[in-house]
Structure 1
Amino acid sequence: MVKAEQPTILGTQEGRGNQIRDLKDRLPGYWWAWRGREKDGSGETCAAFYRKDRLEKLDEGHRWLSTTPTVPGSISWGAKTMIDGSFHDSWNHKAARVTPTYGTANGWRPRPKPDGRRIDWIIATERFAVHKAGINTWVTRHDNLCSDHWAVQAVVSLAA
């Protein structure tokens, strides 16, 4: 799916170090920013891959779902607030939606659930304009899936 879609930026979730390194080896032309969720940087990660021919990394940072989001490894149950005045969910741009609202956790079932719960988002700052947003329900002709989550996709640009 990644080869077919050729995203400029590819975000992952719950990847382990060996999986992320394997993906990097299979994606020539991409580089990454990642850090494991544990205090020492180990553990599962939400890595971001980007095409080196289209983007230049100027900075990077990581946030944890916690009341102290910049403290590595911090956890605070009930602190899921990611959207505030400076961040927005690309899916909320209704005019940009190109697919139905599918639940994004597929449980390895090859048929999407319309109007299901979205647990995967693309969050952007107000500096980005959202042109298209969708949920990619790609499966092979043999009903194989590449993940237990449907891919959330958006076409964005820097706002004028």
Structure 2
Amino acid sequence: MKIKILFAAVMLLLATVSIEAQQITVGTFNIRYDNPRDTGNLWVNRAPIVSNLIRFHGFDVLGVQEALQNQVDDISTALPEYAHYGKGRDDGKDAGEHSVIFYKKDRFKLLKSGDFWLSETPDKPGKGWDATCCNRICSWVYLEDLKTKKQFYAFNVHYDHQAVVARKESSKLMLSKIKEIANGSPVLLTGDLNGGRDSEWYQTLATSGVLTDSYMQVKFPYANNSSANGFRTPRGKGVIDHIFVTKQFTAKKWGILTDTYYGKFPSDHFPVLAEVELR
């Protein structure tokens, strides 16, 4: 009887450890908007490649930037195992690019969600600060792991590509909104910051005491290329696509996925993947 009790206790302990050690595979991927001028790299040809890539690498949570509504629909149709959230940046509905978040249906339950714009008036669509080109939006979700019952926020954002003041102010806004919305809960932040690790707006996040770049937690990051490629062989190792975490997460792996097909690229950015554990 004692042996049976001991065996049961050991099995329960192992099951508990297994649950606690479950990892989350998180990614950020600028998929390049559906631009009819991208001759040789049209979305109609890239769409199945992008979906296959997402499926193969098994992202649990994936922040996607530049997705127009038809691109969101294409990925969703190809990958029914994922749910998603994110509104269009131009009208808060479907219009314009989305900073959409995909997450696995069989692993997570959506508890809350929302969006805000990178501007002085974040509650409504509009350009911010010195931006002249585009509205910029951040979408977020509050997820519960169905197995562990642990809960966390995921934010996904795309900074302006031209306006310097807007990028600086966007990082300040991101920190303010993360504190306001998450209120100390665990947070993942994915995004294309249009700036490397030496940029002021990256440094604002990375040295905030609120967020840490998951890259910095990994002993052997897989960083053989830049994260942007422009649909051609990249040169240099600059990274503008980032995955940040709060103190409740520990990153175990980090890498730039340089998948290609017949010499072509799924996007003008490579996806970035991190495996993290929520303590």
TM bucket, shorter chain:
0.7 to 0.9
Contact 2:252 2:276 in 1 (8 A): yes
Instruction: In structure 1, list runs of 5 or more residues that go unmatched.
Output: none
Q: Which runs of 5+ in 2 are unaligned?
A: 1-52, 131-164, 175-204
Structure 1 letter corresponding to 2:73: R
Superposed CA offset, 1:81-121 (max 9, x none): 142332232222242x4312532110001x343422x2211
Read off the aligned partner of 1:92 and give its amino acid letter. M
2:35 aligns with none
Which residue of 126, 134, 139 maps to 2:255? 134
Higher fraction of helix: 2
Report Cα offsets for 1:138-159 as digits up to 9, x if no partner. 112x112111101011011212
Taking CA–CA contacts closer than 8 Å with sequence separation of 6 or more, which of the two structures ends up with the larger relative contact order? 2
What displacement does 1:62 show? 2.5
Alignment of 1:92-103 (within 5 A): 92-95=216-219, 97-100=220-223, 102-103=225-226
1:123 maps to 2:175: no
Identity of aligned residues (%): 33
Offset at residue 60 of structure 1 (A): 1.8
- Other-structure match for 2:269: 149
Q: Provide runs of 4+ in structure 1 moved above 6 Å.
A: none
Q: Equivalents in 2 of 1:156, 1:67: separation in Å?
A: 33
Pair 1:127–1:65, CA change in 2 (3 A):
farther
Q: Judging changes above 3 Å, is the alpha-carbon distance between structure 1 residues 125 and 64 closer, same or farther for their aligned structure 2 residues?
A: farther
Equivalent pairs counted in the alignment come to 154
Report the equivalent of 1:13.
65
Letter in 2 for 1:47: V
The partner residue of 1:27 within 67, 72, 79 is: 79
Question: Structure 1 residue 59: deviation in Å?
Answer: 1.6
> Match for 1:52: what amino acid?
K
Structure 1 length-normalised TM = 0.84
Q: Does the 8 Å contact 2:215/2:221 carry over to 1?
A: no
Deviations 1:25-79 (A, max 9, x none): 11011100111112433311111111111111122233433345x4232423422
Distance 1:15 1:91, change over 3 A: same
* Rounded Cα–Cα distance in structure 2 between residues aligned with 1:131 and 1:72: 37
1:61 aligns with 2:183: no
Q: Which has the higher strand share?
A: 2
Assess, with a 3 A threshold, how the Cα gap between structure 1 residues 103 and 154 changes in structure 2: closer, same or farther. Answer: same
Select the structure of larger CA radius of gyration. Answer: 2
